[in-house]
Structure 1
Amino acid sequence: MVDREILKIAIAALLHDIGKFSERASVEIPQDYVINNQALYQPKYNHRYTHRHSLHTAYFFDSFSKYLPKQILTDSTADTSLINLAAMHHKPTSAEQLIIREADILSSGIERKEFEEQDAQSRMPKEIPLSTIFEDISINENWKENKPESFKFVYPLATLSPKSIFPVEKSSLKQIDYKTLYEQFIELFKKLPHIEYSPLWFEHLDSLLFLFTSSIPSATVTRDDAGDFKEIITDISLYDHSRLTAAIATAFYAYHRETNSINIDAIKDRDIEKFLLIEGNFYGIQDFIFSDTGDTRKNAAKLLRGRSFYVSLLSELASDFIVEKIGLPSTSIVVNAAGKFRMILPNTERAIKLLAEAENEINDWLIKNFYGEVSIGISSVTASFNVLIDTETLSDIGKKLGKVSEERKFHKFDILKYAGAKTTYLNEFSSEFGICPLCNRRPAGDRNKIDDEHLCDVCFDHVNIGRNLTSKDYIAITYKDADLKDKLRIPIYNRYQLAFITGKLRDLVEAGKVRHFWDINSLWQEELHLSKELFSIKLINAYVPRFTEEHKDAEILEKLKYDESEESLKEIDNLINYGGILSFAHLGKLSLHKIDSEYQGVPALGVFKADVDNLGTIFMKGLRKEKRTFSRYTTLSRQLNLFFTLYVPYLCRTEFKNIYTVFTGGDDLFVIGPWKDTFEFALRVKEDFSKYCCENREISLSAGLFITKSETPVINMAKFSEEALDKAKQKGKNKLTVFDVSVSWDDLSKLAEIESHLHNWLEEEIITKAFSYKLNEIVKMVEEEIHLRQSNSFDLSSLNSLTWRAKLYYSTIRNVAKGYPKDKRIEIAEEVLTHLSLWLEKYRESMRIPLWKTLYMRRKA
């Protein structure tokens, strides 16, 4: 349970700069309030009151106190009241207020000279947009001059959405409207639910700030050495700054409380290692998701979807388990994405002891239920304020934590504790139900019957989750003793239950049984519904293609029904009427197309896997030295994660509706769809990622695309797409590997033009499919020639590959434009030969890509 006083510190820290939002929205503060409170909250500079946003913060708390949890507002002195903790961070008079100030400075990453934005002689703060961190990333130290006019991309001021996360050019930016945004924020703030249960309300508040302050700059001006105001690079959002301030402040407070040192002198001592920086890694995630299974045909999609979400849940709740055990709020978890989390804890004996206990309890549970397939490894380093405020030492701490984390991978389990024969393993199986047909690992049980199959508890949970994810909008995480109907067979970490239903929620909240309540669908909408309550936002990558009205189109419906039995035809009609999920087999058929009343093409799937290149190097040296601050590292992690967790699923929902998201998050993605659609999707993701990163060529994607039949086991899909991705990395990165050829993204667009030529030649009967297959043989010879020249070793049997030019000439002159008049035929053949010779010389084995795509599309179904 989160400690009440620590939660108060977290709320105060999270809202300490809310006054910047209201000030830029031109909220009017009554003159009598100014007169009575200005001296209390605002410091002076040159005999003038500065930092007016502090007064705005105080006015916010006074104006909306009835919408704050009563448990947090009561039993406080002037020194520890919520309003004073938040609003006096520039003029602290108590140890607790000083903690918020120190956290504010540390989160900012620089001890700024005091100033008030409103006094600046440059542009007004509300006219300065948020810059993007991506434009100033360089692993080759090719940074632009570090001044605002050097950068041209900014974020539009808007609520967070799949579109608003993309930067735009300053010149195209519309007028900034803080007033409307603030009014919408207040409207939803007043409706935040679960005010009677503070930790749950606090998480909803965090999501509200996430939605409304992610595009607001945290600071816009500073003073130079001469004392004059100047505009600064505004690449840290108010949300990132405020949330990190909350994480630091709670660790700060917990440290001093547990060491009985809540006094100003102790708090000002910046050399003591008060912080414990934690990195948690889940090992074996992909092996777990794609583990070899038995007969999964009936529930393959549900199982895959359920497993993918389940491992995200394991990581989410592992970090939650730790902070809850120590008594810290959710904001102490700084980053949680793609099986990795980072958090800030107090460096106390109690926290270290509880952290070790939590790790052991989690791994005990994982070993018991998953036999070592997955495990969690916790790494930590200690740090002081002075180490974290300095960009050089902060970078060193990051490297040290990374090194400790890498070393941790080599001892994922305590061998002495977990090794040895499991003598009772076979005793768990019954002669009646035997082994689970989905995992081939655990005993099947009588109570877990799905589609006439008896499953084990774990697979039953995964299939059940996979089914519900596509049809429910909310997820409740409760404690295991909560009274729920449809719940997990095995509570996670023997502590948490999961429910997709909202029944009895109010009663469960009042009883303190609800740990989290997540909205998993709101952010996919174009606009927020201001009339609804806003719950904690959780980005769950659970998009699956469904049968819709679009599939009733005669042409599409004919594809789906192609080569189906009479029974299956009726099933397809039912699936369309009831919005059922498209199977892998159906997705494959959507790659077919009709030519002359006959279906052509390969009814296959495209399995696409991609991730960001050089991610470790980007974090280690991508930021210029003076910008290597806590807030920017956090911002960089969150921004990368948003592209994959928010935008990519949105792209599937709106434009690539037949693409199945297996997982997207952190810095990578894995999707499955009709192979033709997946090709287009791959190019679109690359194009949009480049736009998202301001066309910064030092931030790139590598990817693998594997074409396969729909009945291929998922484990093989994962294996071969991973191998294709690895090959792209080995060939220099920033490439796509498809058909076992790695090619740069830039060349793909040019190869697409070649593909268009090949299609047109076939349509116009200039070339035949037989000639296309002959070209395929010539491409092989070109590839062999390359290997010969690279190896610099020749023998008689391999010299045949050097004759490809002659064979190309012979085949072209002999076979091209056969049905055309002789004089026209020679002209066309020469043109085709010229094109093919140039393409083969330039693109070599990469010619396989347009050629094979053409052959795949022209093959009789």
Structure 2
Amino acid sequence: MEKLEIRSWLAIGGLLHDIGKLIDRAGEERAEEEERRKFKYAHAVYSYKFLEELLERKGVSQEVQELILSGAYHHNPEPNNLYHIAQQIADHCASSERSRREEQSVDQTTQRKEEKRLKSIFGLVDLECAKTYLDGEKHEYELEPLKLEKEVIFPKDASQIGTSGVQKYKDLLQALKTHLSKLDFKDPQKTLTKLYYLLYKYLWCVPASTYDKERGTNHFPDISLFDHLRVASALVSSLWTDYNKERLNGGLNAVEFLLVEGDITGIQRFLYQLSNIRGVGKRLRGRSFFLSVLPIILGRFFLKELEYPMVNLLYAGGGKFQLIIGYEEGIEKKLEELQRKVDEVLVREFGGHLGVVLGWLRLKGSDLGVGTLGEKIHELYEEVGRKKFQKFSTILENFDKLANPFGPDNYEVCPSCQTNLKPESQEFCNWCELFQEVGAKIPRAEYVVFSPEMGDLYLEDIGGVSVYSKDQVAYTLPEDTLLLLNSTDFEDKADGFFFLANTVPLEEDGSVKDFNELVEEEEEGYKLLAFVKMDVDNLGLIFSQGLKKDYSLSRVATLSRSLELFFSGYINTLLEQKQFKNKVYVVYSGGDDLFFCAPWETALEVAKELEKDFSAYTCYNPCFTLSAGVFFQRPNYPIRFSADGAEQEKEHAKVEKNCISLWKEPLPWEKFRYALEELKRFLANFDAPNHRTLLYRIYTLLKANKRGNGISMRFYPMFYYQLYRNIKEEEQQRELESLILDPGNNYNIKDYAELILKLVLMKTRGMSEKTKNSHYINNNLGG
């Protein structure tokens, strides 16, 4: 059997080694004393019996059975059986991440194991930014299969979760059994991929460990069974190297791993360096999609070349990928050769505008435990940071030749990206043509296919990706991976699922609306788009310090996966809501940030709801905040300049953090939400359309009387002069006064007064007298 095949079957055994925990909590098995002695723990007995019956029913060979069933011996390996010992070490490495945290609630420590729920990783992050935050441990997940629904993936207060644990476990077990019975166990790679996504769907919410009967201890349930299994699976496949096999009997201190980190450079410039000519929306969407899948393509390439299964890719998204492999003699040289190969391809295809920096760290098994791994990871991050200053160092002598393969004849600069050369016979360069084709397909795509040999977007000798609608799925090669897009109901349709923020506004015929159409559909106000960029504050600090003594591979992977689930998956669910549907164009969303545009009023509401939902998703932990920048512009304004404008606004918000910035004025989210509510209330109760001139005068008074962080006292007499001169109705006077001044704070000017006046002026611009009157009548008299 080849090395990759053995590693894959061992990885399958690692993924299934604790399946008995699900069986145990569902109350469907009992272990005899002799069986317990053989396997040491009851759940290991259940794992072995379940898998043995399944594999025999499938007619799996004895050799493969031995590799898969080795996982059940992870607590009590047979002497000198290297498969068993490898599974034990992998489980020990993965289990060493168990939290040292003590549960605070007496009720929790007395709960039966089948009633305990998984704690949210977000609630446990601590940057000592809010010592009064005590609610982290209260947020838990219900036992439900994974779906992109708020009711499923958002953690809840423990008091809102029922106690029907046994039945929930029975339901999960039955669904999992049904689909496991359909696996044929013929192709190890296909079987492993399907199994991985089945366990992701059904075990993402199941605590890995809650109670150790033999030791009489409670385990803090903050790691899902899925994350524990996938880490153990990656570790056991990493142990099958010549170097590690000779050292398995030496335990954790003898075996060694390599943690590899890849960081893609040049993303921002590459994404937005586009001219605003026909089809720019499609090309931008195609580029955005390519950048979102590039970490996966590269991660799969490295694993394929190193002969490891896909489960060893711990994380891929947000411009980064991380994988773990076993140490062996010469592995560093092999990684350098692969780095050189990738450099050559990226420079040849993109002229050095995109690159990848690869760093790695050698670890002993004992380094993977909590309390020690954090420092090691910090070393890896520092190495990757240093290598960013040496980008393309492996091919410097050939850089010009690779970046400029064409002669001057018959070629000219692409008018779209303005960087690559194009043949005179084409409108754009090859990549811009491809991005436009793929960008047109994405809104209707239902499947994604990753392939080492081909693709709509293909890097030669590296790998590629294709997108298909339901009726257009082409034949895929055996080594390809077919994933269902934005739905976890993949079992009878694909190898797994994939989350992609692909929301765009569509015409009735399925074509994508252009930016001009978006704003023209707005009935009132200034015809402007708002371009919005948002990202998570202090993310590097959260990953490096937020987990403190509980830092582990699984927790870091869970944190990354959970953020990706929100920004790549849930955002589509949010934008399907009636008030946003078919109005929002997501340029990019993944990792921890996003960029979208919409008619300005809709965009502000989306930003507000996103921040609100993100706060709930992260357990209202004050360590998790968003900063956002909003840039207003006409729809025909070049997209790269709009992106720059939104980025600059976001930087203004980053100065304060936990803010949204409009017109270079950061505003805390709480005040922003209140300002939008005030805007709606004011427009409903004040005849703004017929008083635009007055509102504009007050707005200019505010601007003219700014003094540092305050307002000159001269503003007040001028404001009241304009107010009483132009408005006679007392009720209308009070409405405008309360919009600008805060009677509960000595009539000081409200922080967001200038913002609201700008938005009112934008909302009422261009209204005819008939429209003005009907607007006021409809809002006030219900006409």
- Report if TM-score (shorter chain) is over 0.5: yes
Partner of 1:579: 510
Provide the rounded CA distance (Å) in 2 between the counterparts of 1:121 and 1:753. 44
Is 1:541 the counterpart of 2:501? The answer is yes
Aligned partner letter, 2:551: R
The superposition leaves residues 231-273 of structure 1 with CA deviations (integer Å, 9 ceiling, x where unpaired) of 432111001111111122222222xx24550542x3x1x3347
The superposition leaves residues 455-480 of structure 1 with CA deviations (integer Å, 9 ceiling, x where unpaired) of 32211211121122222322323343
The superposition leaves residues 85-108 of structure 1 with CA deviations (integer Å, 9 ceiling, x where unpaired) of 111111111232122122112212
Is 1:741 the counterpart of 2:672? The answer is no
Partner of 2:559: 636
Range with greater deviation from structure 2 (721-730 or 401-410)? 401-410
Distance 1:810 1:639, change over 3 A: same
Aligned partner letter, 2:175: Q
Distance 1:344 1:813, change over 3 A: same
Partner of 2:753: 847
Distance 1:763 1:220, change over 3 A: same
The superposition leaves residues 197-222 of structure 1 with CA deviations (integer Å, 9 ceiling, x where unpaired) of 32122112111111110000001124
Partner of 1:773: 696
Is 1:438 the counterpart of 2:416? The answer is yes
Secondary structure in structure 1 of the residue aligned to 2:330: helix
Percent identity between the two aligned chains: 24
Partner of 1:617: 541
Whether contact under 8 Å (2:506, 2:513) holds in the other structure is yes
Paired residues, number: 747
Aligned partner letter, 1:517: L
Range with greater deviation from structure 2 (675-684 or 468-477)? 468-477
Q: Of the candidates 561, 570, 595, which is equivalent to residue 647 of structure 1? A: 570
Aligned partner letter, 1:348: E
Provide the rounded CA distance (Å) in 1 between the counterparts of 2:114 and 2:402. 68
Q: Map of 1:675-754 to 2, 5 A cutoff? A: 675-730=600-655, 732-754=656-678
Provide the rounded CA distance (Å) in 2 between the counterparts of 1:605 and 1:238. 44
Q: Of the candidates 157, 174, 182, which is equivalent to residue 183 of structure 1? A: 174
Whether contact under 8 Å (1:137, 1:143) holds in the other structure is no
Q: Map of 1:26-65 to 2, 5 A cutoff? A: 26-28=27-29, 34=32, 37-41=35-39, 43=40, 51-65=41-55
Aligned partner letter, 1:665: G
The superposition leaves residues 587-635 of structure 1 with CA deviations (integer Å, 9 ceiling, x where unpaired) of 2223x22xxxxxx31122121111111111112222242x223322222
Partner of 2:774: none
Question: What is the CA-CA distance between 1:517 and the residue it aligns to?
Answer: 1.8
Whether contact under 8 Å (2:327, 2:362) holds in the other structure is yes
Distance 1:785 1:508, change over 3 A: closer
Distance 1:712 1:642, change over 3 A: same
Secondary structure in structure 2 of the residue aligned to 1:6: helix
Provide the rounded CA distance (Å) in 2 between the counterparts of 1:472 and 1:181. 29
Distance 1:429 1:309, change over 3 A: farther
Is 1:468 the counterpart of 2:428? The answer is no
Secondary structure in structure 1 of the residue aligned to 2:285: helix
Is 1:496 the counterpart of 2:468? The answer is no
The superposition leaves residues 623-677 of structure 1 with CA deviations (integer Å, 9 ceiling, x where unpaired) of 242x223322222221122111111122123442221221211111111112111
Is 1:209 the counterpart of 2:199? The answer is yes
Aligned partner letter, 1:620: S
Provide the rounded CA distance (Å) in 1 between the counterparts of 2:472 and 2:532. 41
Provide the rounded CA distance (Å) in 2 between the counterparts of 1:26 and 1:541. 40
Partner of 1:797: none
Distance 1:92 1:141, change over 3 A: farther
Aligned partner letter, 1:804: F
Provide the rounded CA distance (Å) in 2 between the counterparts of 1:228 and 1:188. 34
Q: Of the candidates 726, 733, 740, which is equivalent to residue 836 of structure 1? A: 740
Q: Map of 1:246-645 to 2, 5 A cutoff? A: 246-254=233-241, 257-258=242-243, 261=246, 263-264=248-249, 266=250, 268=251, 270-272=252-254, 274-293=256-275, 296-391=276-371, 393-414=372-393, 417-418=396-397, 421-422=400-401, 425=404, 427-428=406-407, 431=410, 434-445=412-423, 454-480=427-453, 487-488=455-456, 491-500=458-467, 509=477, 512=478, 514-523=479-488, 528=489, 532-547=492-507, 576=508, 578-590=509-521, 592-593=522-523, 600-625=524-549, 627-645=550-568
Partner of 2:12: 11
The superposition leaves residues 121-169 of structure 1 with CA deviations (integer Å, 9 ceiling, x where unpaired) of 94322111111122222201756899xx983221011111122110112
Provide the rounded CA distance (Å) in 1 between the counterparts of 2:355 and 2:766. 48
Question: What is the CA-CA distance between 1:520 and the residue it aligns to?
Answer: 1.5
Secondary structure in structure 1 of the residue aligned to 2:562: helix
The superposition leaves residues 508-560 of structure 1 with CA deviations (integer Å, 9 ceiling, x where unpaired) of 54xx4x3322222424xxxx376x3442211122222213xxxxxxxxxxxxx
Question: What is the CA-CA distance between 1:753 and the residue it aligns to?
Answer: 3.6
Provide the rounded CA distance (Å) in 1 between the counterparts of 2:490 and 2:395. 55
Secondary structure in structure 1 of the residue aligned to 2:48: helix
Question: What is the CA-CA distance between 1:75 and the residue it aligns to?
Answer: 2.9
The superposition leaves residues 678-728 of structure 1 with CA deviations (integer Å, 9 ceiling, x where unpaired) of 111101001101111111122111111112111111111211111111110
- TM-score, structure 2 as length reference: 0.88
Aligned partner letter, 1:189: L
Secondary structure in structure 2 of the residue aligned to 1:87: helix
Partner of 2:125: 137
Whether contact under 8 Å (1:779, 1:845) holds in the other structure is no
Distance 1:807 1:299, change over 3 A: same
Provide the rounded CA distance (Å) in 1 between the counterparts of 2:175 and 2:420. 51
Gaps of 5+ in 1: 44-50, 114-119, 449-453, 548-575, 594-599, 790-799
Provide the rounded CA distance (Å) in 2 between the counterparts of 1:91 and 1:414. 48
Aligned partner letter, 2:333: K
Aligned partner letter, 2:421: P
Secondary structure in structure 2 of the residue aligned to 1:736: strand
Distance 1:289 1:110, change over 3 A: closer
Aligned partner letter, 2:155: P
Question: What is the CA-CA distance between 1:764 and the residue it aligns to?
Answer: 7.4
Distance 1:2 1:208, change over 3 A: farther
Distance 1:457 1:747, change over 3 A: same
Question: What is the CA-CA distance between 1:441 and the residue it aligns to?
Answer: 2.9
The superposition leaves residues 43-65 of structure 1 with CA deviations (integer Å, 9 ceiling, x where unpaired) of 1xxxxxxx211111112212321
Range with greater deviation from structure 2 (89-98 or 438-447)? 438-447
Whether contact under 8 Å (2:8, 2:189) holds in the other structure is yes
Partner of 1:451: none
Partner of 2:229: 242
Secondary structure in structure 1 of the residue aligned to 2:702: helix
Aligned partner letter, 1:403: E
Range with greater deviation from structure 2 (182-191 or 10-19)? 182-191
Provide the rounded CA distance (Å) in 2 between the counterparts of 1:263 and 1:639. 34
Range with greater deviation from structure 2 (347-356 or 707-716)? 347-356
- Aligned CA RMSD, in angstroms, stands at 3.1
Whether contact under 8 Å (1:543, 1:649) holds in the other structure is yes
Whether contact under 8 Å (1:741, 1:845) holds in the other structure is no
